[in-house]
Every structure is written in structure tokens, then in C-alpha cells.
Amino acid sequence: MKIAFTKTIVIMKIKFCAILALVFFGVQSSVAQTVIQGTGPSGGMNTGDISFGGKTGINFTTWRGSEFDGISARVGAYVGGVVEIPVMDDFYVQPELLFSLQGADLGPSNANLVYLQIPVMGKYHITDEIAVELGPQVGLLLADNWEEDLQSQDTESLELGLNIGGGYRMDENFYFQLRIGLGLSKVLEITKAYNAGVSIGAVYFL
């Protein structure tokens, strides 16, 4: 019964993520057409084209404020899509939809977590190449895996966080990022553990 129930939950999460992805990119596509055609609510001229892209990279994640001893960072990865929306000169809003593999090294064992993350970053270009970023993030837990010598933990299904970082725009297609993420809500229900990590990656704009 427990296995069947777990499979049902996983299937429901996958369906939810698929619907969320379709809504996310559908809304952004609609907004893109509106802005590019110059028919936005303000009736003003377009400040630039909206750009869509794919994003991938690696994570170095751990838990802060944890009651576990000997905790250290764990290497993971992420992949997803981004939309770069121009707001005014040199300032952009960049919503993202990412699948992220992260967790923590707890000494002899590891905690492995899979999230669907939705960061919404404000991005300001100091120069044509260099940008700084800041924004909130919502994470939906898709799966968790505790190694055998650890008892199963009650992991929170929703995470709130804050990201800060910067990037380098090499050309019109490639953008490289360095980002620090700080969890603002607990990872576990009964322990004061919060996600924290550094991510390095690249975006390819179409």
C-alpha cells in the first residue's frame, strides 16, 4: 500500500510539473508577442525583444543551521529554461523554470533532493557584458532519497528562497552565471535545516 501510494504521489507531481511548465512558457510567449508588437498595457514603445533560452550548470549545495554533525557540500546539477524580459534601459526581469538535483553530505551518508525551482530574477547590466542579479525563488520538492543508514525524514514539499549573483554576457547567445542561493524555509519538518548553495552555469539564448 505504501509503495502504491508513493507512486501515485510521484505521478501527480510529474503531471503538475508538466502543466506548470506549459503554463509558464505559454504565458511568457503571450507576453513576448504583446511586447514585441508594442501593444502592452502602457501603450508605449517596446524597450527590446524578449529572449528565450535554455540553461544548465552544476550546484554545490549543503544545509545551514542544521543539527547534523559533520555536514558538508554535495555536488549536483540543474537544467531548465529562462525568459529574459526587458523592462527599461539595462534592467531585465528573468523568470526561470529549473529541475535541480541537490542535497547535503551528512558524513557517512547523503541526502538527495530533487526540486522544480522557479526563480524570478531582477537583472541589471552594469556594462554590456557584466550584470548583477537578485530575486526570490519558489521550489517544489519532486523527490527525496535518504541513504540506507539514515531513517526516512519528513521533508517539506515547498521551499522559499532568495538568490543573489551575477553574470557575464559573452555575445548575443551565451550568458554565464554565478549565483548564491539561500533557503528561507526549512528543508525538514522537525529540524532547523535550510538549503544553501552556489551554482555555476550557462544560458544559451535563442
Q: State the pLDDT at residue 190.
A: 77
The grid coordinates of residue 28 equal: 511568457
Q: How far apart are CA 175 and CA 40, in angstroms?
A: 27
pLDDT, residue 149, reads 55
| Residue with grid cell 535518504, as numbered in its chain | 146
Domains and CATH numbers, the chain: 47-205 (2.40.160.20)
H runs (alpha helix) in the chain: 2-36
**pLDDT value of position 123:** 97
For residue 155, the model assigns a pLDDT of 86
Q: What element of type H or E holds 100?
A: strand 91-105
- Quote the CA–CA distance of 117 and 159 in Å, as a whole number: 9
Query: What pTM does this model have?
Result: 0.75
Question: Which of 127, 131, 117, 196 minimizes the C-alpha distance to 167?
Answer: 131
**In terms of C-beta density within 10 A (0-12 exposed, 13-18 middle, 19 or more buried), how is residue 61 classed?**
buried
Tell me what pLDDT residue 72 has.
86
CA distance 71 to 191: 14
Q: Which residue has the cell 554565478?
A: 178
Distance, CA of 37 to CA of 94 (rounded, Å): 20
Over its length of 206 residues, how does the chain's per-residue pLDDT go in tens digits? 333 334 444 444 454 444 454 445 554 444 444 443 333 333 333 347 899 999 999 999 999 886 666 788 999 999 999 999 999 989 999 999 999 999 988 777 788 999 999 999 999 999 999 999 999 999 999 998 876 555 556 889 999 999 999 999 999 999 999 999 999 999 988 778 899 999 999 999 99
Interacting residues of 106 by C-beta distance below 8 A, sequence separation 6+: 68, 70, 71, 150
User: What pLDDT is attached to residue 80?
Assistant: 98
CA distance 102 to 78: 9
pLDDT for 4 = 39
CA distance 84 to 64: 31
What's the confidence (pLDDT) of residue 152? 59
